[in-house]
Amino acid sequence: METSTQTFKNCDVVSATGRIDASTAPQLAEAFAASTDAGRYRIVFDMSGVEYISSVGLRVLIDTQKKCKQLNRGKLVLASISPLVQEALRLAGFYTLFEVYETTLEAVGNI
């Protein structure tokens, strides 16, 4: 899995490609932590390149969401989710815990 982060005026966009599982989830957690440690709590997670996400990856999303929402500082939103990953989020009951946008551009505009 590869991650990249783009910083915009109102948010950070974290993108990932490949599989998010037990071996790659710490890398994703580090990407999110880099934003929050810099005091940037509005994060868009571009999931267009994510093929698979395990329960460990879902835990990283929940932990990041909690950190962003502490003291009403911001939020983590999801964008460009593939149908397979959408189904995994729905089955795990996580889909309703996040704001979800069809495109990354739409997410950046609404965060």
Residue 79 near residue 100 (C-beta atoms within 8 A): yes
Q: Residue 111 has what pLDDT?
A: 86
d(CA 7, CA 82): 23
- 2-82+90-103: CATH topology: Transcription Regulator spoIIAA (3.30.750)
Percent of the chain with pLDDT over 70: 100
d(CA 32, CA 16): 11
Q: Residue 7 has what pLDDT?
A: 95
Q: Residue 92 has what pLDDT?
A: 87
User: Where do the structural domains in the chain lie, given as residue ranges?
Assistant: 2-82+90-103
Above 90 in pLDDT, residue 22?
yes
Tens digits of per-residue pLDDT, 25-72?
A: 999 999 999 999 999 999 999 999 999 999 999 999 999 999 999 988
